[in-house]
Structure 1
Amino acid sequence: MSSSEPLPTPDGQPSMMAAIAEVFRVALPLMISTGTFSLVLFADRTFLLSYDGASMSAAMAGGNLFWVLVCLPVGIVSMTGAIVGQYVGAHQPERIGRFLWQSVWISLAFAPMFAFFAAIAPWLFHATGQPDSLVSLESTYLRLLLIGAVGNVLETALSGFFSGTERTSVIMWVSIASGVLNVVLDIVLIFGLPADPFFGWALPAMGIAGAAIASVIAFWFKAAVYIALLLRPRHQEQYQLIRGWGIDWPMIRNLIYFGVPTGLMYVTEAGGFTVMVLRIGTYGDIPLRATTMAINFNMVAFIPLIGVSIAASVLMGRYLVESGPQRALRNVHAALVIGFVYSATWMAAYLLFPDWMMSLYEHSATDPESVQAIALARNLLKYVAVYVVLDAAQLILAGSLRGAGDTWFVLAGGVTASIVALAIGFWGEPDQAGLHWWWTIITVWVWMLATTMAVRFMQGKWKTMRMV
């Protein structure tokens, strides 16, 4: 046993503290990586609030729709890490390079779809009932983001090699570098640069377009760095990364079989959430702006938990093949402990310090509408506090089920919960002042997702599943 292996208990399984340490070792870099992304989103929207409150609202709606459009391919290639983990557990490293290439080919194949959605962007926002004053801003933001869509999917695929082989610190450092680049570009491109005293040139303020361009550059930057790291000679012999470049249809079919339900689940969750946000947007810019502010703080808590979910998925994939379900189960319990501690800390913060959180927006509030939105957002944090712990549970359990290969149930459960939540929402929607109604629906929706994933996990069917 290597020094990095958890110490066993009398039944041959690692102690809970050892399992927590192992999950934390894999998850912490991923939490920092995804947390960097959440801070970049927070910075994006806060900078846009300083520039123009309407741009902040448009970035929320446009960014959500962008995620809906990319999450099918992102979901498909996000299974790369879990399947690579199973190759590691099966002691077949020589197959990893060829499999990674199949994830790359799938990423590139979605480029025509992104171009199509960029062409019809204004129609998409008009069809959802967005105010005319926001449609132009939302369309500009979405169209520019879609230039980086392939880069976003590609970097997700390539990062799967590093998560699946448990080199998660690489993902952390690449994400930090990308995040710093994004924030710097945000400041320069959103607000512009004054005329240079020597050369006389200036960079005009680009507002929401500048924020989108900064994100696009960051997407492609991450993809380029991952490619450079993968080309290092030490990876070639063990994983045969360059030699495996050809198309392998059985591997593609395997990735699509397990990845499509993951992508469709992302579509379902993102689509359901986007519909709810867009319905809030029909009540006016102030409710949408308040929702954006509250969601920003929700994202700071939620997105790092994706890192714990990825770690649970990868370790499930590895140990289910290598050691059996008992070892995998111990790691899932450890991931839940980490998720609960982290999310409970944020729950306490939402309840105890809402005024301090909202004060971070006050210096950027340059118009009366933003001041009103801040007051509304302060109360919306109570809804986030109600569901944040269960959100952690559903993320980690869904990730664990996907790591075992139970992706089709995760899809079915997610679709059912989303349809029920939206049906209740539209059936009982008030004629006016629907902001709090839709936040109640968001809370109920998360509770249903958590219950569905918990029941499925406890049934134990995942114990007999394999993906390789």
Structure 2
Amino acid sequence: MNDAPSHGDPAAGDPAPTDSQIDDSFRGSIKEVLRIAIPLMISTGTFSLVLFADRTFLLSYDGASMSASMASGTLFWVMVCLPVGIASMTGAIISQYIGAGQSHRVGRFLWQSVWLSLAFLPLFAAVAYHAPWLLRATGQPDELVSLESTYLRLLLIGAVGNVLETALSGFFSGTERTSVIMWVSIASGLINVVLDIVLIFGFGPDPVFGIQLLPMGIAGAAIGSVIAFWFKVVVYVAMLLRPTHQTRYRLIAGFGIDWPMIRNLIYFGLPTGLMYLTEAGGFTVMVLRIGTLGDIPLRATTMAINFNMVAFIPLVGVSIAASVLMGRHLIESGPARAVRSVYASLTIGLIYSGIWMVGYLAIPDVMMSLYEKSVGDSSSIEAIRLGRGLLKYVAIYVVFDSVQLILAGALRGAGDTWFVLIGGVGASLLAIAIGFTWEPDQNGLSWWWTIIAVWIWMLATTMTLRFAYGKWKTMRMV
């Protein structure tokens, strides 16, 4: 595994790249983005495939479990997205320390991200305790609340691990060692899928040792995810303890609490976390509203969102690449090269999402046929029929989703995190207000999917206008 940084770090004793080694062309920017983004796309793509496998296995086990995993899994993300959002700024800020030649401060800063991650433990415990009440308060069907509560409570055991691995992976993205993130994610994903199969459906009895594990259903899926979260933490910690990192970044020597650094992380990370919370909250409101329509509409939504996630989540890798390169180039050489990096990221994102758009429109039957092999009950067959139609909505907004995701990442990399928050809150509140104000008595499923498409279009428009305005060019985080 080659995790050497790709650029010079004068403070660490690395030679700075010469003019002949720097390609300032657009083609060079494409190559640079791909070098960082491809491992991250594979990493996040692995996560999306694990989610897809999770829900497909649960559909094979019990259709109601699949529906429950969507509703409670979305609520889980709402609970963790604030600390995950704060921790996700670790990589962008570290990239600016590197660009400013202050690599000796990276270790100290990374510790502050770890302390903030651990500080959310009481919140997760409180949510786990009140999980049934929270789910009933959202109007979920009584027959799903028990399954949803089980899934949510078990996932929350891994919540701190999820936040910690986000913080620790920020070191590797910020120093452009993205291949590390890729391999760790692939290993974690494989572990998750294997555990899903064993824990959801059971195992044995083994003819030799007589070992038997009874089927655990939705509880097994949650346990597999929790183990995968903590596996990443353990591997990242082991890699961070390498002697070369101690000399260059002072990871162990940086141990301690540094209040100015914590305030800096909160100042730039809090709006990112709140933005994640706003988007997740808005999406959760819409999904839970669909859940009130019954199990079949929620199951169809879960099926369509599954394919949406396969396309969307790898784009997070391109967004992270745009954020890291924006932060480094803005410090090292000014806005011009940063802009080229963002345009290169957008080009890659638009090509990728455009391919998926064509797929959603051209072969929805082929996509949904993957579920047909896993079901036999009439309710799931009806959900598959509805899901085919919902893929048309995904096709409408998938390109806009790539634009808003990449531009929001670029703006955060420059430090324009508060506008990303304000713009995201405004778009989310407006979409939800439209949804509830004019919600029809009939065709509620189609209505809320239309609102989802309109919401994402508003996010893309907001981020595009802000990036074009250019105030981010004068911002710095270190």
TM-score range, shorter chain: over 0.9
- Please give the TM-score of this superposition, normalised by the length of structure 1: 0.98
Does residue 220 of structure 2 align to residue 216 of structure 1?
no
Amino acid at match of 1:240: R
Q: Verify the 8 A CA contact 2:72 2:148 in the aligned structure 1.
A: yes
Deviation at 1:196, TM superposition (A): 1.9
Q: Residues 78, 181 of structure 1: CA spacing in aligned structure 2 closer, same or farther, 3 A cutoff?
A: same
List structure 1 runs of 4+ shifted beyond 6 angstroms. Answer: 1-9
> Letter of the aligned partner of 2:249 in structure 1?
Y
Aligned residue in 2 for 1:123? 133
The answer to whether the 8 Å contact 1:6/1:22 transfers is no
Q: 2:178 aligns with which of 148, 162, 168?
A: 168
Tell me the residue number matched to 1:63: 73
Using the TM superposition, give the Cα deviation of residue 4 of structure 1 relative to its aligned residue in structure 2, in angstroms. 11
User: Does residue 1:343 correspond to 2:317, yes or no?
Assistant: no
Matched, 1:237 2:270: no
C-alpha displacement at 1:432, in angstroms?
3.2
1:96-111 equivalent positions in 2, closer than 5 A: 96-111=106-121
Does the C-alpha gap of structure 1 residues 445 and 6 become closer, same or farther in structure 2, counting only changes over 3 Å? farther
* Alignment match, 2:456: 446
Indicate whether 1:268 and 2:283 are aligned.
no
CA distance in 2, matches of 1:162, 1:272: 31
- List alignment gaps of at least 5 residues for structure 1: none
Query: Could you tell me which residue of structure 1 aligns to residue 404 of structure 2?
Result: 394
Residue 201 of structure 1 and its aligned partner are, at CA, apart by: 2.9
In 1, Cα distance between equivalents of 2:308 and 2:477: 33
- The whole-number CA distance in structure 2 between the counterparts of 1:341 and 1:4 is 33
Q: CA deviation at 1:86?
A: 0.2
* More divergent stretch after superposition (197-206 vs 91-100): 197-206
> Which secondary structure does the structure 1 equivalent of 2:203 belong to?
coil
Q: Does 1:78 align with 2:88?
A: yes
Other-structure match for 2:11: none
2:319 counterpart of 1:319? no
Alignment RMSD: 1.5
Per the alignment, residue 268 of structure 2 pairs with 258
In structure 1, distance between residues paired with 2:73 and 2:412 = 26
Contact 2:107–2:252 under 8 Å retained in 1: yes
Work out whether 1:293 is the aligned partner of 2:303: yes
Partner of 1:25: 35
2:415 matched to which residue of 1?
A: 405
Q: Any residues of structure 2 matched to 1:374-389 within 5 Å, and which?
A: 374-389=384-399
Q: 1:243 to 1:4 in 2, by over 3 A?
A: closer
Deviation at 1:94, TM superposition (A): 0.2
Match of 1:356 among 358, 366, 373: 366
- The 8 Å contact of residues 7 and 18 in structure 1, kept in 2 or not, is answered as no
**Counterparts of 1:5 and 1:422 in 2: how far apart (Å)?**
49
Q: What is the distance in 2 between the residues matched to 1:273 and 1:143?
A: 21
Q: 1:6 to 1:64 in 2, by over 3 A?
A: farther
Give the Cα separation in 1 of the matches to 2:188 and 2:119: 24
Q: Residue 292 of structure 2 is aligned with which of 256, 273, 282?
A: 282
Answer whether contact 1:63 1:142 (CA < 8 A) is retained: yes
Query: How far is the alpha carbon of 1:61 from its aligned partner?
Result: 0.4
Q: Identity of aligned pairs, percent? A: 76
Q: Is 1:290–1:376's contact at 8 Å kept on the other side of the alignment?
A: yes
Shift, 1:331, TM fit = 0.3
- Post-superposition offset of 1:332: 0.3
- Picking from 290, 298, 316, the partner of 1:306 is 316
Residues 70 and 149 of structure 1 are in contact (CA less than 8 Å); yes or no, is this contact kept in structure 2?
yes
Aligned counterparts of 1:406 and 1:423: Cα–Cα separation in 2: 26
| TM-score computed with the length of structure 2 as normaliser | 0.96
The unaligned stretches of length 5 or more in structure 2 are: 1-6, 9-14
Tell me how far apart the structure 2 counterparts of residues 440 and 203 of structure 1 sit (CA, whole Å).
44
Q: Distance in 1 between matches of 2:178 and 2:262?
A: 24
Residue number among 191, 197, 214 corresponding to 1:187 in the alignment: 197
Is 1:417 the equivalent of 2:427? yes
Q: Would the alpha carbon gap of residues 6 and 384 (structure 1) be closer, same or farther in structure 2, given more than 3 Å must change?
A: farther
Cα distance in 2 for partners of 1:7, 1:235 equals: 27
Is it true that 1:150 corresponds to 2:160 in the alignment?
A: yes
Q: 1:444, CA displacement in angstroms?
A: 0.1
Aligned position for 1:198: 208
**Does the aligned pair in 1 maintain the 2:24–2:337 contact within 8 Å?**
yes
Deviation at 1:108, TM superposition (A): 0.6
Q: Quick one: distance in 2 between partners of 1:338 and 1:357? A: 24
